[in-house]
Amino acid sequence: MSKHGQVKKAVLAYSGGLDTSIILKWLVEEYGCEVVAYSADLGQGEELDHIPEKAKKTGASSCHIVDLKEEFARDFVFPMFRANTLYEGRYFLGTSIARPLIAKAQMEIAAKEGADAVSHGATGKGNDQVRFEIAYYHFDPAIKVIAPWREWDMKSRTALENYAKKHGIPVPTSKKFPWSSDRNLLHISFEGDVLENPWAEAPEEMYVLTVRPEDAPDQPEFVEIEFEKGDAVAVNGEKMSPGQVMDKLNALGGKHGIGRVDLMENRFVGMKSRGVYETPGGTILEEAHRAVESITMDREVMHLRDSLVPRYAEMIYNGFWFAPERLALQALIDETQKTVNGKARIKLYKGHCRVVGRDSATDSLFNVDFATFEADDVYNQADAEGFIKLNALRLRIAAIQRAKK
């Protein structure tokens, strides 16, 4: 038995990169346990066929590859986009929303394998450790969580490379692209290296999903997106699954250089951190969704929902996707989406996307008879005087009181 006691089998969230390859070997050596590798396909845009062989060569007893793309889009991305969710007004939460699903599938494998521990490659400085582990405990409050970055004494990239060389782990380390990245169907994120200087512009060669806006086509392109109950169901008249919608919008947005964000964000663990993100499809989707809402949602319902979005975004960013407060808010958000049925036309041009048309055949609250600047027979403009005086009453009373002083 190892010095760590009772761990017999652990399931590791494994990407095949430097960190998780070393963690796999370290778990075998340090804990003396069987390690089952697990990789989630969330639309990283790379083949995962090589992962099982690499995992087994590094010491894994077996390896699970799980295709989560459609579940990710349908059950995580789309519910979040029903609220037009942005963290700190800028971040589409592409990494944050992926972690609960990765953890959920990992815990399902742990149960299937009879594992008594799970492990991840998140550092002790970041948000991901929180997101993973809160989700783990939601599914099994007694699970043993192994977070190597909080245990081992390897504190630098050089130390990791030395460990890899010592144990014969074939991990390439590129000096050309030294920043870290995380990609899925919603976005790609970049951190580290030159980005740790808040004043330095992100290098152009870093970007993966989007062309440089200046190099995007000189002619605009228009895309029409149809929604049912707040979820996108068709692009340019073609019915699509949630995953297909994201693929299509990512391609369109990337072509026109849409969705780049450079953000200094507040991590849940306390420090500020710079992240650069590409979210081409999500940026278009949010613009279109908001457009359909604008013509179908009641004003007070929209304003109530919008007032709750910063808190909702914070819940997701901090890792509380499975928490009761998030589920309660989701129920309210989903209720607001029952009338969000219609379509929006979006203009794409050199890094920008903006709505140029919106319509709903079934739920439009726009009535041209009331809104027109031309003559009408449905609205008495004189009625506005009483409305204004009632709303101004408290200000008039305050002015009278000030005049007495």
Q: Is 360 a catalytic residue?
A: no
Tell the burial category of 245 from Cβ atoms under 10 Å away from its Cβ (0-12, 13-18, 19+).
buried
Catalytic residue among 128, 182, 231, 247: 128
Residue 180: active-site member: yes
Catalytic residue flag (residue 359): no
Q: What are the backbone dihedrals phi and psi of residue 268, each rounded to the nearest 5 degrees, phi first?
A: -60, -35
Considering the candidates 19, 41, 231, 247, report the single residue annotated as catalytic.
19
Write the single-letter amino acid at 378: V
Which of 253, 210, 227, 238 shows the shortest CA–CA distance to 82? 227
CA dist 7 and 2 (Å) reads 8
Closest by alpha carbon to 291, among 84, 62, 42? 84
DSSP 1: -
- Distance set, CA 401 to CA 389, 395, 404, 405 (Å): 17, 10, 5, 7
Distances (CA, A) of 68 to 26, 50, 54, 139, 340: 27, 18, 21, 18, 27
Greatest pairwise CA separation for the chain in angstroms: 87
Are 287 and 258 contacting, i.e. CB atoms less than 8 angstroms apart?
no
Q: Which among 7, 385, 86 is positioned nearest to 259, based on CA atoms?
A: 86
Helix/strand/coil for 338: coil
Q: From the candidates 61, 62, 180, 181, give the one annotated as an active-site residue.
A: 180
End-to-end Cα distance, the chain: 84
Helical (H) or strand (E) element with 58: helix 51-58
Q: Check if 326 is active-site.
A: no
> Which positions ≥6 away from 338 have C-beta within 8 Å?
229
- Residue 361: how many CB atoms within 10 A of its CB? 8
**From 82, 99, 183, 326, active-site residue:** 99
**Hey, which residues are catalytic here?**
19, 99, 128, 180
